[in-house]
Structure 1
Amino acid sequence: MKNSPPRIAIVWRGDREARRTATPQNNRFHRIFEELAAVGLAPEPAVFDEEFADDVLEQLLAVDAVLVWVNPLDDGKTRKVLDPLLRQVAEAGRFVSAHPDVILKMGVKEVLYETRELGWGVDTHLYRTPAKFRKEFFPRLQADGPRVLKRNRGNGGQGVWKVDLVNATPNGPAVIQVLEAKGGSVPERVGLSDFVSRCETYFTEGGCIVDQPFQSRLPEGMIRCYMSGGRVVGFGQQLVKALVTPPPGSGREPLQPGPRIMHSASAEPFQTLRTNMENEWTPEMMSKLGLEAASLPIIWDADFLYGPPDASGNDTYVLCEINVSSVFAVPDDAPAAIARAMAMRLHRPSL
């Protein structure tokens, strides 16, 4: 009797109707479904919501592996219910990517602080309490110039702020200009004390704030390096407008980003970055965070900004964030790479 192919559940967020009507063809992951089937696996949709979490758990316990695309923040909803569910599935022997514990190591902004001494790092600080934030941030802003603050968990630019000092008189309150990276945001002038109070919610449930210098080459664009395990599977290049202050006289309309242009892993302009990621930075990150090769996500990405040119005039790269929870869209070659990695993981789990 022929063995049945391994079942792979693809998880994304949706309502009951989306769960009832989901097929491998009628969603944005259709190419991943196709490539998984092409390597002899049996993918199936597993639409998730807290309202029917028990149904999803029952489904996931019956499959062989789980691929998850669910943001940490989504229209007010979090992964507070999903993550324990996925841990239960993993403990039952199913392969889960990305595992919630891996996300907590590499898919949060704190990774920027933990890996600040790697080649992708810059002058990065961490605030774990409102008191530490209130005490240490202003002197740093005053001495070093514009800073970027990032809440530990978020997506879509939520809780990521560029902060400029407008004025600070000896006898008066400091005034700052802040701009959130979230789409549609515009610059806002506010008292420093009021802004610090606004950010106190970021410390709830063990949260923290990461503080980095603003990168002046931001308007030149961002490079998204897509990874499957420890290998680059493509790049995305985009002229970002998040945290770019509109020029004077442009009104208060938010700037719009350019399209993300996808490139293959072999694209010539990015080979230095590829070499650094595959041969140095990813292995060093794994060592620093205590991650094994088998625990690396099937698909993840690292966003880079251009840093100051080196002594030879070559570009340097500064890590902006690592995305693990919900990496999409992906380059054309990535779905096949995801499928190959999954097939290898299931057939040869020691790799």
Structure 2
Amino acid sequence: MDTDQHISRRSRIAILWRGDAASRQEATAQNSRFVRVFEALAASGIDAFPVVYDEAVADLVRDQLLTMDGVLVWVDPIHQGKTRATLDPLLREVAAKGPMKRSWVSAHPEIILKMGVKDVLYRTRHLGWGADTHRYATADAFRAEFPPRLRAAGPRVLKQNRGNGGQGVWKVEALPNADATVRVLHALRGSQPEEMPLEAFMARCEPYFGWGGCIIDQAFQPRLPEGMIRCYVSGTKVAGFGHQLIKALIPPPPEGPDSPQAQPGPRIMHGPDAAQFQTLRRLMEDEWIPQLMATLAIDEASLPVIWDADFLYGPRDADGADTYVLCEINASSCFAIPDEAPAAIARTVSDRIGRNMESDAGR
């Protein structure tokens, strides 16, 4: 059944991103980076409105959102020292109090806390995308368990639970013939390898427990230089792929971390039908996404309208085929997106509005 026919009026959707007072005054659908999303929603009969968020105008943003049928949110967990500590309660309130109490938020803060944090790597380690993954819930557990694991298992990657842009992600390797000394490399762009006592490095990481609640520990993947595959998903359906030769956690060249040679390659975008990624697409749609939903107790209607899963190449299997290791899920601010993604977003939004209308009619 075509859900569009159940929409008795043009629905109103907010597209929200972080900005400042000046950009809030100047923001339009046409001058935003989301212009193609606005266009796709309009083509589906949905009115979309730009809403620029800053903590200083949180009350005004709340008033705007309470007039909407839904909101699509693009706000990073950490941006220039600002977090979502004020935004997330606001979005929870909007989801509970919107028009006819059926407004929805994508991605809802509760869904982000389930799938858009590094803890998802531990909770889903049993899936086919899993790797050697551990979780430290306290600083005491970190101090007790990480040193012997590092010595026994080789290079590790530590990740704070909430972050973006490489913040709080470290490659750690023990130095041979140097008791309790490690070489560490931050994934943040421009970082240089450092050698220091393991105790000092662990002390540097302990604030992550206050912000994110835990630290996730994965085995370093040696095929990292072959690039990262970003699988874009709208709801439960793959909307495209991006492949990028990343430089994070790879020591910079002799020319230095700011040199052209140290910069990541462009992310090459592909549609969902790209031949080289069909195995990954099948695994995602047929196995991993349903298993993710079951593991995290997320229903289809609650999945983000746009999200992505970042994969590294794992060890080749017995037949020489690629395997894939999940290194992150992005649900807070998934952008840039493939050319095919705006239409996929519009289809998912239209479907969810239609389902809400059907639900209201059945009450």
Is structure 2 residue 42 aligned with structure 1 residue 37? yes
Equivalent-residue separation in structure 1 for 2:73 and 2:258 (angstroms): 35
RMSD, aligned α-carbons: 1.5
Equivalent-residue separation in structure 2 for 1:10 and 1:84 (angstroms): 17
Is structure 2 residue 159 aligned with structure 1 residue 150? yes
Q: Against the structure 1 CA distance between its residues 131 and 260, is the aligned structure 2 distance closer, same or farther, given a 3 Å change threshold?
A: same
Question: 1:295: which partner in 2?
Answer: 302
1:308 to 307, 315, 331: 315
For 2:30, what is the secondary structure of its paired residue? coil
Is structure 2 residue 247 aligned with structure 1 residue 241? yes
Supply the AA of the counterpart residue of 1:56.
Answer: V
Task: State the TM-score, normalized to the length of structure 1.
Answer: 0.96
Cα pair 2:162 2:211 within 8 Å, conserved = no
Is structure 2 residue 118 aligned with structure 1 residue 118? no
After superposition, residues 332-351 of structure 1 pair within 5 angstroms as 332-349=339-356
For 2:79, what is the secondary structure of its paired residue? coil
For 1:266, what is the secondary structure of its paired residue? coil
Equivalent-residue separation in structure 2 for 1:190 and 1:4 (angstroms): 63
Q: CA-to-partner distance for each residue in 1:326-347, whole Å, 9 max, x for gaps?
A: 0000000000110111011101
Gaps of 5+ in 1: none
Equivalent-residue separation in structure 2 for 1:348 and 1:251 (angstroms): 54
Gaps of 5+ in 2: 1-6
Q: CA-to-partner distance for each residue in 1:228-287, whole Å, 9 max, x for gaps?
A: 00000000000010001235x454556210000000100000000000000000000110
For 2:175, what is the secondary structure of its paired residue? strand
Question: 1:185: which partner in 2?
Answer: 191
Q: CA-to-partner distance for each residue in 1:181-227, whole Å, 9 max, x for gaps?
A: 11111111111111100111000055110000000000000100000
After superposition, residues 193-204 of structure 1 pair within 5 angstroms as 193-204=199-210
Supply the AA of the counterpart residue of 1:76.
Answer: G
1:210 to 213, 216, 219: 216
Cα pair 2:160 2:212 within 8 Å, conserved = no
Moved more, 217-226 or 340-349: 340-349
For 2:131, what is the secondary structure of its paired residue? coil
Supply the AA of the counterpart residue of 2:351.
Answer: M
Q: Against the structure 1 CA distance between its residues 69 and 206, is the aligned structure 2 distance closer, same or farther, given a 3 Å change threshold?
A: closer
Is structure 2 residue 82 aligned with structure 1 residue 73? no
Question: 2:3: which partner in 1?
Answer: none
Question: 1:133: which partner in 2?
Answer: 142
Moved more, 146-155 or 12-21: 12-21
For 1:348, what is the secondary structure of its paired residue? helix
After superposition, residues 203-282 of structure 1 pair within 5 angstroms as 203-205=209-211, 207-246=213-252, 249-251=254-256, 253=258, 255-282=262-289
Equivalent-residue separation in structure 1 for 2:55 and 2:304 (angstroms): 24
Q: Against the structure 1 CA distance between its residues 168 and 101, is the aligned structure 2 distance closer, same or farther, given a 3 Å change threshold?
A: farther
Equivalent-residue separation in structure 2 for 1:60 and 1:206 (angstroms): 27
Task: State the TM-score, normalized to the length of structure 2.
Answer: 0.93
Question: 1:7: which partner in 2?
Answer: 12
Equivalent-residue separation in structure 2 for 1:138 and 1:297 (angstroms): 37
Alpha-carbon shift at residue 20 of structure 1 (Å) = 1.0
Supply the AA of the counterpart residue of 1:32.
Answer: V
For 2:190, what is the secondary structure of its paired residue? coil
Cα pair 1:167 1:176 within 8 Å, conserved = no
For 1:149, what is the secondary structure of its paired residue? strand
Equivalent-residue separation in structure 2 for 1:184 and 1:298 (angstroms): 33
2:92 to 87, 90, 98: 87
